[in-house]
Amino acid sequence: MSVSLLAQNLHGSEIIKIAGEINELKKQGQDIANLTIGDFDSNIYPIPDQLKQGIVDAYGDNQTNYPPADGMLNLRESVSAFLKSRYDLDYSSNEILISGGSRPLIYSIYMAVVDPGDKVVFPAPSWNNNHYCDLTGSEAVIIQTGPEHNFMPTANEIRPHLKGAALLALCSPLNPTGTMFSKKDLEEICDLVIAENKTRKAGEKPLYILYDQIYSQLTFGEHVHYNPVSLRPELKDVTIFVDGASKCFAATGVRVGWGFGPAHVINHMKSIVGHMGAWAPKAEQVAMAKYLKQDDFVKSYLSQLKSNIQNSLNTLHQDFQQLKTEGFNVDSIEPMGAIYLTVKVDYAGKTTPDGTVLKTSADINFYLIKEAKVAFVPFSAFGTPGDVNWFRVSVGASTLADIKELTPRIKEALSKLK
């Protein structure tokens, strides 16, 4: 049976393929440390108590009918105050859109500003931009990044590709790397966008920025989150933000995301999300509106969550650096934000005990799953070539004790390769 060209050309998820391998081994009784999912184990990292009780109370108050398609006004007002408090960003309630997590926001941004055949510029590795290009029929212009810049795109790398582009999609802290833009690097990129838009004629569609900062509350040490509008206020009319509660409150299943930006774009996004029916549940919106106003509870929760995540990331980073000093061909980048560590396991060309030659990052990953009982996600799942042997390691579903047990198993498995 024939289906649409869109359906035929959509790429499958490598992460789902990895999950299938893990599930098959679990059926056989094997215990696999699954560090692939960009999620939290809710038994390790539960949502804030006050938010949980607020959701229960809202259901008790029968807040179960349709919410407004653009989000409840009291939640949009709470988000407005939260943005002012946390980022010193001024966005009114009519410049904010609530949706069921951040995915509908990203899709609606693409749908609102990108036409079929338009150029969309984004770095690799990055999360799902290639798939959103497929969904909108746009031309994906992929900038391959490297460890020398922490896998973050630079102005020099972006500069040749902006002429005529409709959208520049950026994310910081970045999924999958957990790395971030420095102030200087983001300023230089912002200046490129400003310069490009000055070349466009009146009435011509500008170059927009999609700025995904869903992990912006999860930053560590001296690393500071920056955004285009704070650095260059003149970009406010062309920057659309993706944000929400999913990561900063370990609330991925609560499904409350918020996007904000220029009203003329947000209004079109509201129509798109409304037709999709992709709004957040009403009870969760009621509870989130109240929780965001409880600043002391918010600060306390974030402080504890960040401390626990940072301890796990730092432990794994230090363990990989120890393996590196012992002569193993591995590496890692200092954790900066999000719930991810970027690690290198460069054993392409090596032979396993059963005589199999590891050719790609996917081969290396499946070897670690079978021999070390640990699963990562190769950057090839995020748009990089298969010969780039760097991986995303997510710690959100593991305890610190779990993390400490991983490295000896990895060391033993790598020692078996020839």
Note the pLDDT tens digit of each residue in 111-124: 999 999 999 999 99
> Mean pLDDT across the stretch 344-365?
97
Q: Which of 342, 343, 252, 258 is nearest to 305 (CA)?
A: 252
For 382-398, what is the mean pLDDT?
96
- Contact (CB, 8 A) for 391 and 378: yes
Tell the burial category of 143 from Cβ atoms under 10 Å away from its Cβ (0-12, 13-18, 19+): middle
Give this prediction's pTM.
0.96
Residue 22 pLDDT exceeds 90: no
102 touches 271 (CB < 8 A)? no
Residue 1 pLDDT greater than 70, yes or no:
no
Q: In a 3-state reduction of DSSP, which class is residue 88? A: coil
Place 6 in a pLDDT band, splitting at 50, 70 and 90: confident
- The DSSP symbol for 237 reads G
Q: What is the pLDDT of residues 87-118, one digit of tens each?
A: 999 999 999 999 999 999 999 999 999 999 99
Structure tokens at 256: 């409350």
Residues linked to residue 218 through DSSP beta bridges, in sequence order: none
φ and ψ of 143, to 5 deg = -100, 110
**Domains detected in the chain:** 5-45+299-415 (3.90.1150.10), 49-294 (3.40.640.10)
Residue 360 pLDDT greater than 80, yes or no: yes
